[in-house]
Amino acid sequence: METVSAPTTVSPERLSSPRQLAAASVGNLVEWYDWYAYSFLATYFATQVFPKGEGGLTSLLDAFAVFAVGFFMRPVGGLLMGAVADRLGRKAALTLTILLMGAGSLLVAVLPTYAQVGVLSPVLLVVARLVQGLSVGGEFAASTTFLVESAPPHRRGFFSSFQYVSTTIGQLLASGLAAVLASTLSDDAMSSWGWRVPFAVGALLSLVGLLIRRGARETLADADDLRSGRVRRPGLLDALRHHPRQSLLIVGITVAGTIAYYTWTTYLPTYANTYAGVPKGTALWVGTVALVFFMVLNPLMGMLSDRVGRRPLLLTFAAAFVLLTVPGLALLDDGAGRLLLVQGTGMVFLAMYTSIAAAVNAEVFPARVRASGIGFPYSLSVALFGGTAPYVGTALKDAGHGTLFPWYLSALCLVSLVVYAVALRETAHRPLPA
């Protein structure tokens, strides 16, 4: 069979920018809505799905262990769904990821309880989380590639920023709906059926996202030739095998961003409560305000990077977290004011990374292996350094060395600072690698 030229991407001028942005963003929003809904609602469904242990904590610990299992499926999802995007087209991968997430949410929504089916209940929950972890890992690879390939050359940073804008909206929707249900329903109602509602909503949102994505344009110009075999499809590990330096570069780029992101957006309320005595409710409200501020900052930072370049923002971000994390966290007291100051200041610097992470990653790899090249090393870095941040902080606290956590964060940010300074070239004003 005749083999034609290697895959290229469609010219952004042929794409409808608002439609492409909506297609990528809605799926990412749904993915992260469902992902965070689990963590917010675990305290309610844990005793329904797992057998109760002494003290009532065993079931909750089991629920969070299943959450961690889903996290470590993300590298697999990044590799497999990235390969789908490179072999069959970006739209095929985006369709598959949102279908998987919807299926996982629906399974949780209708999950039988332990009292009804015994051990089958937690087994089905594990299956649902494995499916969702696979989906979330693949979503970043596919939507990152799709977003950046859809952007005009001078707006890739701006388009890139919607990766985390949509992630933040999904997180806020999940926390908001959980809060509304918890405040309007009794504890018994929440534990018996209320916790199912957000997962059912997530399944419905997946269908909406699927309909929006059907109207998007494919960004891989040779997708039809790849599917028919007229162009040789890249192998599953081609990106790692032929581009090892770029794969390691993605890890170096991501280490600081992922631990800073999960610390500042997810773990900081718990840290402030544990170490500074900030009431839990106050810490959560401050975190919500900071998330809204963070969401607004991302497009602004993305546009700034399109003017001044990616490296100045990345260098500023990493240097700030290296130098300011330890004294910043030491400033916390039992009031909301300092927490808002520390978290808000961190969000300014964090947005310098999150707004352009998608663009920087996509600008590293050629089109042929762009999605799979991003997916695996990025998701592996998130699983190893970002997803474990709360666990590392808690483990250090339990061992009596809790004050070491800010130093741990600073050290990892120093790794990325060196990468940005030494190994990363400026890509903002260059064409995407063909």
Measure the CA–CA gap between 265 and 188, rounded to whole angstroms: 30
pLDDT in tens, 29-58: 988 898 788 877 877 888 888 887 544 455
Measure the CA–CA gap between 51 and 32, rounded to whole angstroms: 28
Q: What is the average pLDDT across 379-402?
A: 84
pLDDT at 5 exceeding the cut of 80: no
> What integer pLDDT is reported at residue 4 of this predicted model?
44
pLDDT at 396 exceeding the cut of 90: no
Q: Of the candidates 258, 359, 256, which has an alpha carbon nearest to the alpha carbon of residue 303?
A: 359
Q: Topology of 244-364+388-422 in CATH?
A: Growth Hormone; Chain: A; (1.20.1250)
Measure the CA–CA gap between 225 and 137, rounded to whole angstroms: 26
Would you say 226 and 233 are in contact if contact means Cβ atoms under 8 Å apart? yes
Query: Is 11-215 assigned to CATH 1.20.1250.20?
Result: yes
Q: What is the DSSP letter of 365?
A: S
> What integer pLDDT is reported at residue 1 of this predicted model?
39
Measure the CA–CA gap between 156 and 152, rounded to whole angstroms: 6
Query: What mean pLDDT, rounded, does the chain reach?
Result: 87
Measure the CA–CA gap between 39 and 52, rounded to whole angstroms: 19
In a 13 Å sphere around the CA of 92, the CA atoms on its Cβ side amount to 16
Share in percent of the chain as helix, strand, coil (round to 5): 80, 0, 20
* Top mean-pLDDT range of 216-220, 275-279, 415-419: 415-419
Model's pTM, two decimal places? 0.87
Measure the CA–CA gap between 163 and 23, rounded to whole angstroms: 11
pLDDT in tens, 69-125: 777 788 999 999 999 999 989 999 999 999 999 999 999 999 999 899 988 998 999
> What integer pLDDT is reported at residue 234 of this predicted model?
84
3-state SS string for 62-118: HHHHHHHHHHCCHHHHHHHHHHHHHHHCHHHHHHHHHHHHHHHHHHHHCCCCHHHHC
CATH 1.20.1250.20 residue ranges of the chain are 11-215, 244-364+388-422
